């Protein structure tokens, strides 16, 4: 398993390949691979989405990406 942490100023649903898979500021478990990450509406964040490659993570060292509130 791989681990992703999506940081945002508030709790928001996280879209992974257009499917809601978890929440911001909580570690999400996924298989190794390439993913398109975004947040659920409202679209008050930037960037609109991020494409990531998820590999070589652990539960204590997840890949961290951040969305900024705009």
- List, for residues 35-62, the tens digit of each pLDDT value: 999 999 999 999 999 999 999 999 999 9
- List, for residues 3-41, the tens digit of each pLDDT value: 999 999 999 999 999 999 999 999 999 999 999 999 999
- Say what the pTM is: 0.95
Q: Which domain holds residue 30?
A: 2-55
17 within a domain of the structure (yes/no): yes
pLDDT at 46: 98
CA 25 to chain centre: 9
Alpha carbon distance 12, 28 (integer Å)? 13
List C-alpha distances in Å: 11 to 5, 7, 16, 63. Answer: 12, 9, 16, 18
- Our count of domains for the chain comes to 1
68 within a domain of the structure (yes/no): no
Joined tokens for residue 43: 């679209």
């Amino acid at each position: 398993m791989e681990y992703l942490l999506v940081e945002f100023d508030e709790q928001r649903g996280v879209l992974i390949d257009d499917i809601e898979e978890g929440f911001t500021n909580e570690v999400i478990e996924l298989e190794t691979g390439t993913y398109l990450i975004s947040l659920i509406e409202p679209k008050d964040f930037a960037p609109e989405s991020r494409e990531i490659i998820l590999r070589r993570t652990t539960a204590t060292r997840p890949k961290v990406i951040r969305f900024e509130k705009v």
